Amino acid sequence: MNDLNITVTEKRGLKKEIRISVPFSAIEDKKTRRFTQIAKTAKLPGFRPGKIPDKIIHQKYGDQVIQEVLSDLLDSTYIESIREKNLKPAGPPEVKIDEYVDGKDFTYTATIEVYPEFELNGLEKISVEKPKVEIAQKDINSMIENLQKQRGTWNPVERPSEKDDQLLVDFEGKIDGEVFEGGVAKDFVMTLGNGQMLPE
């Protein structure tokens, strides 16, 4: 919005006060467009949709339209203002709206806190030593083997089970001849030789 009037005042600490004034012409433009939208869909007894006189539309929906337009302008002009003034708020603004008079400019104040600015000097004098990392071939082989195990697929085979085979088993664990809690399972998936099960 080219004719937006923005004034920034420095306050105590990191606070800044932004005074924003929206011209009457911008408000009227938005109001006109909103009334036009409502007139197309509004339903009132005794009138066909789209045929309600403008005067009645304004009387019926005037307050609603003003609230919608001012709320929309508050959001959009605040964002535009902080961008134009290159401000970086650390949180939401504290907004105080001047008393609005129909036919006048819309003016409000947004008080914000901004992030502190730091100036870093002497960075060119700081040296950084890049660590040297050596990876042995055995480490590469071990990583490849682990990836193969993680992403491999399992297929049924017709032979006795071997180490690293995946088995689907039912088992019943006992202590002194008695089944202990958690010692029974059906269709338990295990990999032979990886230490998941106690030795016999």
Domain coordinates of the chain in residue numbers? 5-113, 164-193
The whole-number average pLDDT for the span 69-91 is 93
The arithmetic mean of pLDDT across residues 103-116, rounded, is 92
Residues facing residue 5 across a β-bridge: 21
- Give me the pLDDT at residue 40, please: 87
Q: How confident is the model at residue 192 (pLDDT cuts 50, 70, 90)?
A: low
Band of pLDDT at residue 154, cut at 50, 70 and 90: low
Say which residues have a Cβ less than 8 Å from residue 112's Cβ, sequence separation at least 6. Answer: 15, 16, 18, 82, 87, 89, 90, 91, 93, 94
Q: How confident is the model at residue 91 (pLDDT cuts 50, 70, 90)?
A: very high
User: Whole-angstrom Cα distance, residue 68 to residue 59?
Assistant: 15
CA–CA gap between residue 153 and residue 180 (Å, rounded): 34
Where is average pLDDT lowest: 5-9, 107-111, 113-117? 113-117
Enter the pTM of the model: 0.56
pLDDT score at 163:
73
| Range from 17-26, 37-46, 71-80, 149-158 carrying the lowest mean pLDDT | 149-158
Instruction: Check whether 189 has a pLDDT greater than 80.
Output: no
Mean pLDDT (the chain, rounded): 83
Interatomic CA distance for residues 121 and 135, integer angstroms: 37
Burial of 18 (0-12, 13-18, 19+ CB in 10 A): buried
Quickly name the fold that domain 5-113 has: Alpha-Beta Plaits (3.30.70)
Query: Which positions ≥6 away from 96 have C-beta within 8 Å?
Result: 108, 109, 111
